């Protein structure tokens, strides 16, 4: 096969978007649709055309927020620091909900949740027996669920 023949196949001709018959040679400077001749261009201009939609710049902001909210619930067993979103995620587990009925534990978590320095608050809470048992329960639950998945 000769290169010349191949090129003709890979580069399809653009049709005039006005008459949809002739090969396009020009582009509308506003909406960029291809047209074949001045006749077709005049016809195209009978209807006001607009610029093609701009790159979705506004979307990026929304996408980032969505990703943040939909962050998967995942806790590394080696890393015993629990983040707020992880705590919220874990709170849907029935075994953990039972553990949360403990008043002392509830208060501890509320303290961490409302603390400006969550990391320090977590460190303090880890010194409490109730909280340590609670996190161990969470970690074992997470390990169980990840074992079931694999």
Give the nearest distance from C-beta 8 to Zn ion in angstroms.
21
Give the nearest distance from C-beta 53 to Zn ion in angstroms.
14
Please provide the size of the chain in residues: 150
Give the nearest distance from C-beta 48 to Zn ion in angstroms.
8
Cβ proximity to Zn ion, 28 vs 96, nearer residue: 28
Q: Which residues contact 16 (CB under 8 A, 6 or more apart)?
A: 22, 23, 24, 34, 35, 36, 37, 40
Cβ proximity to Zn ion, 17 vs 124, nearer residue: 17
Give the nearest distance from C-beta 37 to Zn ion in angstroms.
6
Give the span between the Cα atoms of 32 and 63, in whole angstroms: 28
- Distance from CA of residue 120 to its chain's centroid? 30
Q: If we measure between CA atoms, which residue out of 33, 38, 24, 76 comes closest to residue 52?
A: 33
Cβ proximity to Zn ion, 37 vs 141, nearer residue: 37
Cβ proximity to Zn ion, 31 vs 133, nearer residue: 31
DSSP state, 14?
Answer: P
Give the span between the Cα atoms of 7 and 12, in whole angstroms: 9
- Give the residues lining the site for Zn ion (CB under 5 A): 16, 18-19, 22, 28, 30-31, 36, 40, 49
Q: Helices 129-149 and 103-114 sit at what angle, rounded to 10 degrees? A: 80
Cβ proximity to Zn ion, 18 vs 82, nearer residue: 18
Give the nearest distance from C-beta 13 to Zn ion in angstroms.
13
């Amino acid at each position: 096969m000769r290169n010349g023949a191949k090129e003709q196949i890979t580069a399809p001709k653009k049709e005039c978007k006005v008459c949809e018959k002739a090969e396009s040679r020009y582009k509308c400077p506003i909406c960029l649709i291809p047209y074949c001749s001045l006749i077709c261009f005049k016809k195209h201009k009978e209807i006001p055309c607009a610029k093609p939609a701009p790159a979705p710049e506004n979307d990026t902001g929304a996408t980032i927020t969505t990703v943040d909210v939909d962050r998967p619930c995942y806790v590394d067993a080696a890393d015993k620091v629990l983040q707020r979103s992880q705590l919220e995620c874990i709170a849907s587990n029935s075994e953990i909900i039972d553990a949360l009925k403990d008043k002392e534990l509830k208060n501890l978590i509320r303290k961490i949740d409302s603390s400006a320095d969550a990391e320090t608050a977590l460190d303090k809470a880890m010194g409490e027996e109730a909280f340590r048992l609670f996190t161990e329960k969470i970690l074992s639950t997470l390990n169980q669920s990840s074992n079931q998945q694999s």
